[in-house]
Amino acid sequence: MDVAMKADSVQDQQETKQYKVFPILFAMLLSGFIGLFGETALNVALTPLMGLLEVGPTTIQWLTTGYLLVLGILVPVSGMLLQWFTTRQLFTTSLIFSIAGTLVAAIAPSFEILLVARVLQAVGTALLLPLMFNTILVIFPIEKRGAAMGLIGLVIMFAPASGPSISGLILANLSWHWIFWISLPFFIISLVCGLLFLPNISKLTKPKIDILSIILSTLGFGGIVYGFSSAGGHGESGGGWTSPVVVATLVIGVLSLLLFSIRQLRMKQPMMDLRAFRYPMFTIGLILIFLCMMMMLSSMLILPMYLQQGMAVTALTAGLVLLPGSLLNGFLSPVMGRLFDKFGPKWLVIIGLVIVTVVLFMYTGITPTTTLSKIITLHVFMMVGISMIMMPAQTNGLNQLPPAFYPHGTAIMNTLQQVSGAIGTAVAVSILSAGQLRFLRGVTDPESPENQLAGFTSGVQNAFVFAMVLAVIGLIISLFLKRVKVGAGDGQQGPMH
């Protein structure tokens, strides 16, 4: 095993020299950034779009839910696509979908056409994300992967976080169409750069396509993403946990996932090889990323809501309050990647989780009189902590997998990131609403503005308690992290039996 691992490592290093790494990285990261920026860029524009496109809150929410749903359905299939189609074919297809979706959105005259455009954009992003991870794993030797994954971290964390702020600035000066017009040239540059420099790097095994697995995966992940998104929608768009549609989609989702998992474990050539879970550091890394995304995305939803509704600041101000932390998080990801290459994951992740736990504990005391400077400072510390957790846990986990598992490992990680976002935000909003109702039931005049604000504050504090509990669970799990060493007999951990 050790000899084979050493041979793999030497072979990796020899192959790496043949790749033009920087243009490949540039094409992947630029298109990934614009794709993920599009995931959240429309959030700030949803309220004005309701008036312009003459639709209600329940309908307009589909511009976000539909996007997440396509990601939840397509990303699980990506592991199989990586083994069926060449790198260049997948990259070109993903960019064509992204360009088509962005162009249609930029000229969309109605809600229906804008929704079609969002679906096209989501197909492009869903194909690109796993391809980006898989390419990094192939073109970089294991000892340099941390820094490279850090650059992906910059894209994955900063792009969605900067979406509301950048689109807020665009909307203050131009029409909503310009959110898409500004994105379009970047996709075209990425496509040209990829066509010029991106070689075919994946090994095509062309496993048998199992239609039942695709159907179960679509029903499973699609049902869970849709169920949680519908239950967690706030205002008129919230289905609530007792809604028959929400209950039905969640039950169908969970049962389909159970059948999907059983089928994958019994197949010789599974669509998503769940045997990757036998590698303990991969599993621990996956759990930490799942918890981390739930904490981050629920906080990114709750904080702007409280800033706008509880502290009466504008949407643009709320976006700008979150920008310093998001910027710093993006720029720290490559730094954390280099620290990971040097020192391993354990202490980075533990210190990161301690910081996040302390920040979330302080957020549980948030009130309308809390200063913006305090919120900005806490958010900066939280995003620093998250940058210390995400990339080290992710890279360490993927490093333990043999190359044959790369497509499956990246597909599992990317799928669970999409699912965790839907679950985290839905549960946080539900806890917020329940806390608000509980408070208002206990007061004599629930309709008064003072009590409404106090109830909302109580709900927000409860939502942060939920996020803090997730951080504590993550902290306990992080104690079991070990560095995956390649070619060192004592350090390389094989699968659990």
What is the DSSP-derived secondary structure letter of residue 209?
Answer: P
For the entire predicted model, the pTM comes to 0.76
Domain boundary (206, 222, 246) is at: 206
Q: By residue range, what is the domain housing residue 135?
A: 18-206
Q: What is the pLDDT of residues 232-246, one digit of tens each?
A: 654 344 456 777 888
Instruction: Report the first-to-last Cα separation within the chain, whole angstroms.
Output: 16
| pLDDT at 12 (0 to 100) | 43
| Banded model confidence at residue 251, pLDDT cuts 50, 70, 90 | very high
Cα separation, 332 vs 339, in Å, equals 10
To the nearest whole number, what is the mean pLDDT of the chain?
A: 80
| pLDDT at 302 (0 to 100) | 81
Domain boundary (184, 206, 228) is at: 206
For residue 292 the two structure tokens come to: 């981390």
Task: Give CA 404 to chain center in angstroms.
Answer: 24
The neighbour count for residue 39, using CB atoms within 10 Å, is: 21
Q: Give me the count of residues in the chain.
A: 497
| Banded model confidence at residue 197, pLDDT cuts 50, 70, 90 | confident
With contact defined as beta carbons under 8 Å apart, do 198 and 73 qualify? no
Q: Give 222's Cβ-side CA count (13 Å radius).
A: 11
Tell me: do 77 and 49 sit in the same domain: yes
Tell me: do 347 and 365 sit in the same domain: yes
Cα separation, 329 vs 89, in Å, equals 32
| Tokens 């699968």 found at | 495
H or E element: which one contains 152?
helix 145-173
Tell me: do 250 and 289 sit in the same domain: no
Q: What is the pLDDT of residues 267-318, one digit of tens each?
A: 887 777 888 888 889 999 999 999 988 888 788 778 877 887 778 777 677 7
Tell me: do 223 and 165 sit in the same domain: no
Tell me: do 217 and 301 sit in the same domain: no
Tell me: do 368 and 404 sit in the same domain: yes
Q: Which of 124, 277, 258, 133 is nearest to 188 (CA)?
A: 124
Q: How much of the chain exceeds pLDDT 70, in percent? A: 89
What is the DSSP-derived secondary structure letter of residue 189?
Answer: H
Tell me: do 248 and 315 sit in the same domain: no
Q: Which of 281, 404, 253, 289 is nearest to 346 (CA)?
A: 281
The CB-based long-range contact list for 402-407 (8 Å cut-off, 24+ gap) reads 402/8, 403/8, 403/137, 403/138, 405/273, 405/275, 405/276, 405/279, 406/134, 406/137, 406/138, 407/78, 407/79, 407/80, 407/82, 407/83, 407/130, 407/134, 407/202
**Is 9 among the domain residues?**
no
Q: How much of the chain exceeds pLDDT 90, in percent? A: 14
Tell me: do 182 and 194 sit in the same domain: yes
Tell me: do 174 and 296 sit in the same domain: no
Structural domains in the chain (count): 3
Tell me: do 70 and 123 sit in the same domain: yes
Between 356 and 496, where is the model more confident? 356
Tell me: do 336 and 420 sit in the same domain: yes
Cα separation, 147 vs 391, in Å, equals 9
Q: What is the pLDDT of residues 433-486, one digit of tens each?
A: 788 888 888 777 777 888 888 888 888 899 899 999 999 999 999 999 888 775
Q: What is the pLDDT of residues 307-343, one digit of tens each?
A: 877 787 776 777 788 788 878 887 887 888 888 888 8
Q: What is the pLDDT of residues 70-95, one digit of tens each?
A: 877 887 777 777 778 887 888 899 99
Q: What is the pLDDT of residues 25-63, one digit of tens each?
A: 888 888 888 888 877 777 667 767 777 777 766 677 777
| pLDDT at 492 (0 to 100) | 42
Provide mean pLDDT across the span 211-224.
85
Domain boundary (254, 270, 286) is at: 270
Q: What is the pLDDT of residues 89-126, one digit of tens each?
A: 888 999 999 999 999 998 988 888 989 999 999 898 88
**Is 287 among the domain residues?**
yes
